[in-house]
């Protein structure tokens, strides 16, 4: 029997048994996997083709939006990702938040298929090169990122931000930035 997982927020169905049955819209699991890879490659190439001035302008807009929309971040333990391949660079926003009392952390890959560990990071903390050459902090304190922002961290009239759970293998991982990003778009 085919087991389906329904995602109510976005209204799509996911096969969890890995078969090539049709997804909603007529695409097979293999076709969907191929499409996702091609789309990911296309989007990365488009992002990497942006000039430095455009990336900086977009970063400033994202920083300003996060700063205005989530004032509770200034009192949070905030995890963010080191930017690679033209991704959004949160380091300047992280600096501004640290100046207001926030603790910032970067993820550390402990082992394949294991939950990430977060370690405090700020300029001056030693970094090592991890998978894909992505830097991670060494020798700093572990941090448990804030999963609930205080009421002041939510836009007026919205409930406090609660990070959705992401399923990775059989382990649940939560990320406060997933919550913030979800509210952005």
Q: Show the DSSP H helices in the chain as ranges.
A: 29-48, 52-69, 91-99, 176-184
* Domains of the chain, each with CATH number or no CATH: 4-48 (no CATH), 52-184 (3.40.50)
Q: What is the pLDDT of residue 145?
A: 87
0.95 exceeded by the pTM?
no
- CA 176 – CA 160 distance, rounded (Å): 12
Q: What is the pLDDT of residue 30?
A: 85
Q: What is the pLDDT of residue 170?
A: 31
Q: What is the pLDDT of residue 124?
A: 93
Contact between 12 and 24 under an 8 Å Cβ cutoff? The reply is yes
Within 8 A by CB and 6+ apart from 182, the residues are 164
Digit-by-digit pLDDT tens for the chain (185 residues) are 334 444 443 344 444 445 555 566 677 888 889 999 999 999 999 999 999 999 999 999 999 999 999 888 888 999 999 999 989 999 999 999 999 999 999 999 988 889 999 999 999 999 999 988 899 999 999 999 887 665 544 444 433 433 333 333 333 333 344 333 333 32
- CA 90 – CA 66 distance, rounded (Å): 10
Q: What is the pLDDT of residue 39?
A: 94
- Residue labelled with tokens 């001035």: 53
Residue 87 tokens, joined:
């991704």
Q: String of b and e for 54-68 (b: at least 16 CB within 10 Å)?
A: ebeeebeeebeebee
Could you tell me which residues are beta bridge partners of residue 108? 117
**Sign, CA torsion 49/52/57/60:** positive
Q: What is the pLDDT of residue 178?
A: 35
Sequence-ordered strand ranges (E) for the chain: 4-7, 12-15, 77-79, 103-108, 117-120, 127-129, 135-137, 165-168, 171-174
* Nearest-10 Cα torsion for 58, 62, 67, 70: 170
Q: 58, 70, 83: which is closest to 156 by C-alpha?
A: 70
């Amino acid at each position: 029997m085919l087991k389906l997982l329904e995602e109510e927020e976005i209204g799509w169905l996911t096969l969890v048994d890995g078969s090539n049955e049709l997804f909603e819209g007529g695409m097979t699991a293999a076709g969907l996997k191929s499409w996702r890879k091609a789309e990911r490659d296309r989007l990365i190439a488009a992002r990497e083709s942006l000039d430095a001035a455009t990336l900086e302008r977009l970063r400033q807009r994202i920083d300003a939006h996060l700063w205005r929309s989530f004032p509770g971040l200034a009192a949070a333990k905030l995890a963010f990702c080191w930017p690679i391949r033209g991704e959004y660079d949160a380091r300047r926003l992280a600096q501004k938040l640290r100046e207001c009392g926030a603790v910032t952390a970067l993820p550390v890959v402990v082992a394949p298929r294991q939950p990430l560990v977060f370690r405090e990071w700020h300029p001056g903390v030693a970094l090592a090169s991890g998978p894909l050459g992505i830097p991670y902090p060494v020798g700093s304190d572990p941090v448990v990122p804030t999963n609930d922002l205080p009421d002041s961290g939510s836009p007026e009239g919205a409930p406090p931000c609660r990070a959705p759970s992401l399923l990775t293998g059989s382990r649940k991982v939560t990320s406060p930035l997933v919550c913030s990003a979800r509210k952005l778009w």
